[in-house]
Amino acid sequence: MEYFKLNNGMKMPMLGFGTWDVRGKDGEEVILTSFDVGYRHIDTARMYANEEIVGNAIRRSGINREDLFITTKLHSPYASYKKAKAGIEESLNKLQSDYIDLILVHEPYAQGLDMYAAMKEAYKDGKVKAIGVSNLDAGRFKEFARQCEIIPAVDQVESHVYFPQLGLKNTLNSYGTQMQGWASFTEGKRDIFAEPVLKEIGASHGKSSGQVVLRYLVQNGIGVIPKSMRKERMKENMDIFDFVLTEEECKKIEKLDEGRSLFGWY
Ligand SMILES: NC(=O)c1ccc[n+]([C@@H]2O[C@H](COP(=O)([O-])OP(=O)(O)OC[C@H]3O[C@@H](n4cnc5c(N)ncnc54)[C@H](OP(=O)(O)O)[C@@H]3O)[C@@H](O)[C@H]2O)c1
């Protein structure tokens, strides 16, 4: 695994395992399988209603807690200082852990800075190791950064070949903030696996279109958290650190950028 260094010196794996829609007893087995395959970075959220199975899987895996990087997020039911403070405690309980590696304000909320105040407090108390935001575009991020005192370690946003948000990544980097992308495979909104240019580039490296997409993002300094319920795909999605895309290949992929969200966000 390769790592990004966050603005507080912490190391975050470049690739993690997304858990949207991974739920219940079967979901717990899926997370255990991801550990078995080698994932050590798990992306969960209060909204996903699965922190408890993440916690169970961590306990059952026997992996040392310090070898894992667990992200969670607080959404609108926690949109005040007091509610966010309580939400952090709930997440700690459900994850069955003394600390959370990274906690994010899930979306732009009017009370985002109040939620962040509770996160800053938990950060100072050692209950969370890094704090950040999610789904802030450049304008909102700059406004947030002007007032938040502790610059977010991460902004987790939509990022895939049709909307990589490379401009946002440069803005975030100028603040020392790491960009992490969700929906690397567009959540199925587009069939990236059939995209001719990705297939062609993949074939020349002995890699799949999915691997080319993940490699492209990581090579551009963007973290990825692909989700799959299937072991073979989990393995495939992790296997992106043994090849490098050429400048020419990156330029071809850049042409897929349509400059707008596929989800109607931002
Ligand atoms: N911060 C936010 O607001 C936000 C929003 C959305 C998502 N997220 C996070 O980002 C993570 C990733 O996004 P996502 O899960 O929504 O979408 P995604 O990773 O773009 O796509 C997941 C889909 O791709 C399929 N897939 C995975 N690997 C594949 C492969 N190698 N070949 C073919 N198909 C493959 C999966 O099917 P199978 O499971 O059947 O393999 C699943 O249907 C989420 O799980 C969540 O943790 C964050």
Q: Which residues pair with 73 in a beta bridge?
A: 104
Q: What is the pLDDT of residue 260?
A: 95
Q: What is the pLDDT of residue 264?
A: 85
Q: Is position 3 annotated as part of the catalytic site?
A: no
Q: What is the pLDDT of residue 207?
A: 98
Q: What pLDDT digit, counting tens, does each position of 185-219 carry?
A: 999 999 999 999 999 999 999 999 999 999 999 99
Q: Whose CA is nearest to atom 47 of ligand 1?
A: 18
Q: What would the DSSP string read from start to end of 216-233? A: HHHHTT-EE----SSHHH
Q: What is the mean pLDDT of residues 108-125?
A: 98
Q: What is the mean pLDDT of the chain?
A: 97
Which atom of ligand 1 lies at the shortest distance from residue 230's CA?
A: 41
Q: Whose CA is nearest to atom 31 of ligand 1?
A: 233
Q: What pLDDT digit, counting tens, does each position of 155-188 carry?
A: 999 999 999 999 999 999 999 999 999 999 999 9
Q: Please tell me the distance between residue 193's alpha carbon and the centre of ligand 1 in angstroms.
A: 13
Pocket of ligand 1 (CB under 6 A): 18-20, 43, 106, 134-135, 156, 182-188, 193, 210, 225-230, 233, 236-237
User: Of the candidates 216, 211, 215, 217, which has an alpha carbon nearest to the alpha carbon of residue 234?
Assistant: 211
Q: Please tell me the distance between residue 117's alpha carbon and the centre of ligand 1 in angstroms.
A: 30
Q: What is the pLDDT of residue 147?
A: 97
